[in-house]
Amino acid sequence: MSNAPNFGTPVGRASAAVILVGAATIIGAWAFQMAGYVPCPLCLQQRIPYYIGVPLAFVAFVTARRMPGSTVPRSLIGIVGLLFLGGAGLAAYHAGVEWKFWPGPTDCAAGAGRALDTGNLLESLNDVVLVRCDEAAWQLFGLSLAGYNFLISAALAAISLGAAFKRAR
């Protein structure tokens, strides 16, 4: 048995794609945040499939290598696919809120700014910036980050679910 990565199986290839693309996506989200784009609550919820799915894809990758022929890796990558399918749904909802297709949650706003000074609370409140879910903070080619997240999540879901239902040759 060689120690080379097992990219030859559908689960191996799908897992590698989820690990690479998913990690790059979440690192990109963190970079935008460090650049000053404060995420709204819906943005933060859209990260959950990445926080769970990327490590789970790594486990699927390892089990595909260690347990060839087992249904465990296919089951794991199937769960990853379902996570990203849910993430794509949430991203589509958020993009629709930004495009004003439907209303967003009534409590969807996050505060940004410096910490509140309890010594002068009213003055500190003036420094708080409200980050709303229904306003896209950034767009490229007409798509917001939620729109791009929809495309990425849908692609990762399709790759993962395709591998889950495909048998190795």
Location of structure tokens 């996570």: 83
The two structure tokens encoding residue 144: 């917001």
Mean pLDDT across 147-160: 95
Question: How far apart, in whole angstroms, are the C-alpha atoms of residue 56 and residue 165?
Answer: 17
Higher pLDDT, 79 or 12: 79
Residue (of 26, 77, 16) closest to 47 by Cα position: 26
Enumerate the β-bridge partners of residue 129.
112
For 1, 30, 69, 108, 164, the CA distances from 154, given in Å and listed in that order, are 35, 20, 27, 24, 15
The two structure tokens encoding residue 137: 């903070």
Question: How far apart, in whole angstroms, are the C-alpha atoms of residue 159 and residue 8?
Answer: 15
Higher pLDDT, 55 or 99: 55
pLDDT digits (tens, 9 = 90+) for 47-80: 999 999 999 999 999 998 888 778 899 999 999 9
Chain centroid, CA 125 distance in Å: 32
In this structure, what are the phi and psi dihedrals at residue 139, rounded to the nearest 5 degrees? -140, 150
